[in-house]
Structure 1
Amino acid sequence: MEFENPVIISNDLEKRIAEAFSMFDHIGNKTVDVREVGTILRFLGCTPTEQDINEIISATEFEDTRGTIHLSRFLPHVCHLLTERKMEPASPEKLLEAFKVLDPDGKGFLTKEFMSKIMMEEGEPFTQEELDEMMAIAVDAQTGNISYEYYLNQLMCKTKESIYELTTN
């Protein structure tokens, strides 16, 4: 299917979104399956809820090609959301604060079992695959617990430049 609207990339934010989108464009026609939207957003460093993902799909999916999204609609919509700082991850300080709430005794760690239960049953639940990926990094092999300050430091060291830093340019 040909689309009349060419995709014009005019800044670094748009370039980064388009590059992430193209990684999931398996046919090379500037379209992705709607099931890839959440993956693309997370790849960009966003933290969308399922509701956010569904709203983006509703706003960008073409009526005549249900199940696919074209870059010409996805790019401006996601740029707008990012400029408004939607789906932005929590700061390290906020994450530490949240961990401390889960650790009222101030031990400095959470058990793997407790954290697994929280991640699977509270708020926006993790999938088993997401939980396994998190635990592979979070759990201390010697104690079997999650030393949350150490875990947060690991996360911060692995973080590349935030997509949100490009919204100020």
Structure 2
Amino acid sequence: MAEDREWESTETAVAELHKKIKEAFEVFDHESNNTVDVREIGTIIRSLGCCPSEGELHDLIAEVEEEEPTGYIRLEKFLPVMTEVLLERRYRPIPEDVLLRAFEVLDPTKRGFLTKEELIKYMTEEGEPFSQEEMEEMLSAAIDSESNSIHYKDYITMMVEVQLFKEKNKVT
């Protein structure tokens, strides 16, 4: 009996994940034909609370793409892969303390902020570089227009609050 309840619980959880994934996918299925532009997959995955690196995102796309890439991803291929990702809790957001330490490495004088120019340099020239679109999105949320800098403790707090809000309200 306990096994039956456990199986039903797992089945219910999977059904809920399928619903959540389909809803996120449908937002970008402009033709209502169960396909989305491959360029939207990262946004869909991130809206589901996952934070894959660009390399991980490319691997996921390769897994759900057709053998002969068409530029579109079909829901029937995306759904099982994304369900597995969510069940395994892969690509979880980076903890707040780790983000803070990362910013502090970029701020050796411990000012508590980075200038816009410093941020652009670090995010586009070091490690896994941001695309122009990613950079503009980050700058619009992070940069204080008066000081033209990012006060990273405030930015991290804001990002954590947004993530908690999304999780609490299941915003996709």
Q: Per the shorter chain, which TM-score range?
A: 0.7 to 0.9
Going from structure 1 to structure 2, the CA distance change for 1:64 and 1:103 (only over 3 Å counts) comes to closer
Is it true that 1:144 corresponds to 2:148 in the alignment? yes
Q: Give the counterpart of 2:104 among 87, 92, 100.
A: 100
Is it true that 1:135 corresponds to 2:139 in the alignment? yes
What is the Cα deviation at residue 10 of structure 1?
A: 4.6
Going from structure 1 to structure 2, the CA distance change for 1:141 and 1:50 (only over 3 Å counts) comes to closer
Runs of at least 5 residues in structure 1 that lack an aligned partner in the other structure: 1-8
What is the Cα deviation at residue 77 of structure 1?
A: 0.5
- Cα distance between partner residues in 1 of 2:126 and 2:90: 21
Is it true that 1:72 corresponds to 2:76 in the alignment? yes
- Cα distance between partner residues in 1 of 2:136 and 2:39: 21
- Cα distance between partner residues in 2 of 1:141 and 1:33: 34
Alignment check: 8 A CA contact 2:24 2:47 kept: yes
Name 1:5's counterpart in structure 2: none
Name 1:18's counterpart in structure 2: 22
Going from structure 1 to structure 2, the CA distance change for 1:139 and 1:35 (only over 3 Å counts) comes to closer
Q: Which moved more, 1:39-48 or 1:57-66?
A: 57-66
Runs of at least 5 residues in structure 2 that lack an aligned partner in the other structure: 1-12
Name 2:91's counterpart in structure 1: 87
RMSD: 2.3
SS in 2 for 1:161: helix
Number of equivalenced pairs: 156
Q: Which has the higher helix share?
A: 2
Instruction: Read off the aligned partner of 1:161 and give its amino acid letter.
Output: K
- Cα distance between partner residues in 2 of 1:39 and 1:115: 23
Name 1:51's counterpart in structure 2: 55
Q: Which moved more, 1:79-88 or 1:92-101?
A: 79-88
What is the Cα deviation at residue 64 of structure 1?
A: 6.5
- The normalised TM-score by structure 2 is 0.79
- Cα distance between partner residues in 2 of 1:123 and 1:79: 29
Instruction: Read off the aligned partner of 2:114 and give its amino acid letter.
Output: L
What is the Cα deviation at residue 114 of structure 1?
A: 0.6
Q: Give the counterpart of 1:156 among 154, 157, 160.
A: 160
Going from structure 1 to structure 2, the CA distance change for 1:64 and 1:133 (only over 3 Å counts) comes to closer
Instruction: Read off the aligned partner of 1:90 and give its amino acid letter.
Output: I
1:123-143 C-alpha deviation (Å, 9 max, x unpaired) = 221122221221122122222
- Cα distance between partner residues in 1 of 2:50 and 2:16: 16
Name 1:60's counterpart in structure 2: 64
1:138-161 C-alpha deviation (Å, 9 max, x unpaired) = 122222221111111222222233
- Cα distance between partner residues in 1 of 2:55 and 2:110: 34
1:83-119 C-alpha deviation (Å, 9 max, x unpaired) = 2222222111111111111112211111111111011
Going from structure 1 to structure 2, the CA distance change for 1:78 and 1:10 (only over 3 Å counts) comes to closer
